Amino acid sequence: MWVVPTMSFKKTSSTVVISVDALESAANTFTQTEHDLQLSALDQEIFVVLALDVAPAPPDAIAGVNTSTSVSLSTTSRTAVGNIGDNNVLGASETAIRAAGFVDGGVGFQQLATEAPAGMVDYIGIIATSQFFTQIEGAGNAGAKSAGVRIWGYRARADAATYSALVQGTVLSA
């Protein structure tokens, strides 16, 4: 992800909260949804992400079967659920139940990479194109899974050089 000095863009809105759902099209099937921010490319408008929360539904507790629900939020389209090690992923979360070898429902685990950094930072990411994407995929579940995603951020206008670099960086991270 490109790191841009705060002075390269000007805040044009108050904080906006966006809530979306990620829904699997069928059980254990990778599903991606595109969400439009309706940013103006002519005005070199960007969305500055301050924080986000990703809350996957719990996986099914099936005796003897490992199950999971994985979700990510990215600035570009993906062919698989991502993790925070990927340049275009702003946040990811996984909830899993490890039951292989057990006669009961197993033990639940959750991995989060969705909270804002503990240190003082101006923002955690920038969406330079007009859309962002959510990805979800379950594993070993009997039914389709879902997740709730919430983003806090604001609209800003970037100068021409910053906007160009951000859009190019977004396209190259795909």
In this predicted structure, the answer to whether residue 171 has a pLDDT above a threshold of 60 is: yes
The reported pTM is 0.85
Q: Coil, strand, or helix at residue 124?
A: coil
Query: Which range is least confidently modeled, 52-61, 99-108, 139-148?
Result: 99-108
Query: How would you list the strands of the sheet with 67-74, edge to edge?
Result: 31-36, 131-139, 67-74, 89-98, 107-113
What would the pLDDT profile of 83-136 be if each residue is shown by its tens digit? 988 989 999 999 988 887 776 655 655 555 444 455 567 888 999 999 999 999
CA-only gyration radius of the chain, Å? 18
Question: What is the rounded CA–CA span in Å between residue 43 and residue 63?
Answer: 55
